[in-house]
Structure 1
Amino acid sequence: MPRPATFEEYLASLVPPSVRGLDRRTLLTGGVALSALTLAGCGGSDSTTTSGSTGTASGSGGSTAAATGEVTLGSNQSDAVPKAAIQGVMDAFQKANSGLTVKVNTVDHNTFQENINNYLQGSPDDVFMWFAGYRMRFFASQGLAGDISDVWTGMQGLNDALKKSSTGDDGKQYFMPSTYYPWALFYRKSMWQEKGYEIPKTLDELKTLGAKMKADGLAPIAFGDKDGWPAMGTFDAINMRVNGYDFHVNLMAGKEDWAGDKVKKTFDTWKGLLELHQPDSLGRTWQEAAQSLQQKKSGMYLLGMFVAQQFEKGAEQDDLDFFTFPEIDSAIGADAIEAPIDGYMMSASPKNDAGAKALLKYVGGAEAQGLAVKSDPSVIATNSGVDTSGYTALQKKAVEFVASAKSIAQFMDRDTRPDFASTVMIPAIQDFIKNPNDIDGLTKNIQAQKVSIFGS
């Protein structure tokens, strides 16, 4: 497919051709929003106003049903800052809807990822947190998510691009977007100023900077892949710089050869950077790696903007800045980034259908998202009605950064099949980190498993 020119066009590309057809509108003018996983199984309107609450849920036929009782929410936001932000939104929802209560069941992010299939096939919560893109459509197509098209009727502040990003293969809506955040190389401004470091524009400049940081006693690039998924972001960034956005998204969709020269070049390029990565990464969580940046023991960190959760609000977060992964091939450039969209979905058979839909309408609105981004400045709201005057400098820069990108991916474990991401790519990348000298064997093994899963 042709490369999307804007964030909105990228959002539209997340859904099948039958529901595409996007006007070029401005998405990023505004300012975030699972029952504990039973681990045994483990509209679109462009209006900038939105109602603060909803006590009813509109049915597909236009009727309304009173929303009362308990709604269960499965959340993967177990870190302190986002967990508090989610609870704040739920408290506000309950205050605005006296007949409803929300029981939040929180499970750590990695456990949630690994058990999502069993969770959705078992006894899932009424509403659960999930992601836009391939993985949303995958579960919708499997009949494991509920149709919330009626919730989208009359939604304000979420434009057509976001509605398309929430649409399944059958043309129905299954997702309510809440926030997004970019991936980039983050650093501390004060330390860089003190050391005289400059932002690298090319791969050679990145290597030169890394060598200088090592000489200064720093780990040039903070790195932690104990949980398996963080290093996917490094692969994605390098692959988009080496082979371009179109190849990357086709590779994620199972349409390219993992054993081909292009993928080998991605891994070989990464191999040349491993000496700049913080050692012993497979025993370190992303939080611990982020803390090394916070403590000025590392020079930079390729991660999502949620890295800010490990920094104290105020002066520490104000000291945090970022830049895009540098250019590797001048013919490809550096205009492709990742900016995953987070949000909420409804289980296929919620115990409280009306309550679930009332909650979904609320979390998609400006009131809820405004509360969330105020509590968690590591994310950006999707609703254009959110007041952005309180955004931190980091949030404001993130809005501009994403708006200026020409191509935007979600993230490896969102852009491809969940089984391929978890059972093939997590161990493959960790094997590469342990032994980067057998790229031929590594890529042949990935390709064989890809054919088994995708069928070709």
Structure 2
Amino acid sequence: MTRPTSEAEYLARMVPPSVRGVDRRTLLRGALGVGALLGAGGLAACGNGGTSGQGVPTGAVTGTVTVGSNQSDAVPKAAVKAYMDAFSKANAGTTVKINTVDHNTFQENINNYLQGSPDDVFTWFAGYRMQFFAQKGLVGDISDVWANMQGMSDAMKKASTAEDGKQYFVPITNYPWAIFYRKSVFQEKGYEVPKTLDDLTALGAKMKKDGLDPIAFGDKDGWPAMGTFDQLNLRVNGYDFHVSLMAGKEAWTDPKVKKVFDTWAGILPLHQADSLGRTWQEAAQSLQQKKSGMYLLGAFVAQQFGKGAEQDDLDFFTFPEVDSTIGTDAIEAPIDGYMMSARPKNEGAAKKLLQYISQPEAQLLALKADPSVIATNDKADTSGYTALQKKSAEFVKSAKSIAQFMDRDTRPDFASTVMIPAIQDFIKNPKDVDGILTKVEAQKKSIFAS
């Protein structure tokens, strides 16, 4: 694949419809609109992120503040509405207009969206993905929002800071990736939580005999299987190698990477078949319906379980040990939050909203509507946490190293145009690891050289 010569060309190639299952009509149907998708303005200059012209207003704000949201599933969509309504109520005369777009469509079109007529504030992710747009000047500097922020840890601030030392992101929630299961199924069948990869393989064999798909699996949308690669790479090669690989500093043809895929090939038969035709929601429902025994996913898997008894029956364990010298103290816990566009139409209200989102009040409203996530503000009251949330909070807190997720820890163009098809090719033909990784390395060199 040749390197895209423009942002528009990059978007056109970002995810081929044949790979992602999203046709052009679907892409144009969302609330981003044709104007935003095609880009009303010219390309933004590369360099530091967009700068702001005013600080955070001390009093109430007025007018309309627009919010672009990728929280399209019912549960997170309700959570967004809850704290946006609360902000509007606290600021009489201010209207929050939420433009919700299908999660995948939003991510696939984020580049042209930001170059066109973006909303004042929009949902996005911490880490490399935030830094990528800050460097391109497509988002606004919100260091003044952070200046008086209370309750955010140094780790949260670091994850919100770009290479220029300025902040461009406000965290609201995060959640761990782990292997989820139903406690009642494990109790009924006498299953034990596996500590090593050999234990996991043995457990999978037992589940097969019991008529279960050992590991639920759905990669129709391309990104879920990235989590499996990340977990294996963290266990096979460790955190430092993983983040270096994601940053383009290691060769994908390195034997260390091949070992990850070879290890994955060994447990691939434990996964649900025909995964490329199944969404993560459908895979999660197989766990919910007790047709699958386990599922490697983020804690948002709980969204597919009924509140109360069903969610109380959901539990998780960290991905088992592969190498005893590396252990299991590295996890993934992606941070979700908001950014401001480079030239917001209502900057005062946008910054006031971002300040509100950082506070415990807003985050607890998010958690009340969506119990699969945990607050990022340390001052948030955790007494109302569900058992799953409490375990998630302890799990994240006890981790020695925390990764964000492949499509957040590396360049978004590399993740989307290279790794999605590469991993799906592996799932279709796990015997062609050498060929797949040779192609990935060649594409990586081209993309990271830009």
Give me the TM-score of the superposition, normalised by structure 2: 0.88
Alignment equivalent of 2:433, drawn from 432, 439, 455? 439
Residue pairs, 1:34-433, within 5 angstroms:
36-38=31-33, 41-42=36-37, 59-60=54-55, 67-433=61-427
- Residues 1:58 and 1:90: Cα distance change in structure 2 (over 3 Å): farther
Deviation at 1:374, TM superposition (A): 1.2
SS of the equivalent of 1:273 reads helix
- Maintained 8 Å contact 1:39/1:119: no
Distance in 2 between residues matched to 1:264 and 1:39, nearest whole Å:
42
**CA distance in 2 between partners of 1:77 and 1:213 (Å):** 34
State how far apart, in whole Å, the 1-side matches of 2:252 and 2:146 are.
Answer: 39
Deviation at 1:153, TM superposition (A): 2.1
The runs of 4+ residues in structure 1 deviating greater than 2 Å are 35-42, 57-60, 62-67
The Cα shift of 1:37 comes to 2.4
Q: What RMSD in Å do the two structures reach over aligned CA positions?
A: 1.6
Separation of aligned partners in 2, 1:161 and 1:250 = 19
Q: 1:140 to 1:65 in 2, by over 3 A?
A: farther
Aligned-partner residue type, residue 95 of structure 1 = K
Q: Give the aligned residue type for 1:323.
A: F
Distance 1:66 1:190 in 2: 50
SS state of the match for residue 191, structure 2? coil
CA distance in 1, matches of 2:194, 2:266: 16
Cα 1:210–1:405, aligned 2, differ >3 Å: closer, same or farther? same
SS of the residue 1:272 aligns to: helix
Structure 1 residues without counterparts, runs of 5 or longer: 1-34, 43-56
Alpha carbons 1:66, 1:354 under 8 Å: kept? no
Determine if contact 1:72/1:104 at 8 Å carries over to the other structure: yes
Deviations 1:251-282 (A, max 9, x none): 00000010111111100100011100001100
The answer on whether the counterparts of 1:369 and 1:386 sit within 8 Å (CA) in structure 2 is yes
User: Percent of aligned pairs with the same residue?
Assistant: 76
Given residue 367 of structure 1, which amino acid in structure 2 is its aligned partner?
E
Cα separation, 2, equivalents of 1:331 and 1:255: 23
Contact kept? 1:58, 1:65, Cα under 8 Å: no
Distance 1:230 1:63 in 2: 40
1:24-51 per-residue CA deviation (whole Å, 9 max, x = no partner) reads xxxxxxxxxxx93235552xxxxxxxxx
**Following TM superposition, by how much is the alpha carbon of 1:422 offset from its aligned partner in structure 2, in angstroms?**
0.3
User: Is the 2:36–2:118 contact (alpha carbons within 8 Å) kept by the matching residues of 1?
Assistant: no
8 Å Cα contact 2:126/2:336 also seen in 1: yes
Query: Does the aligned pair in 1 maintain the 2:122–2:338 contact within 8 Å?
Result: yes
Q: Is the 8 A contact 2:60 2:91 kept in 1?
A: no
Q: Which amino acid aligns with 2:31?
A: A
C-alpha distance in structure 1 between counterparts of 2:315 and 2:412, whole Å: 32
SS at 1:384 equivalent: coil
Counterpart contact for 2:60–2:92, Cα < 8 Å: no
Q: Deviations over 1:417-443 (max 9, x none)?
A: 000000000010001001111111000
Aligned-residue offset at 1:59: 3.4
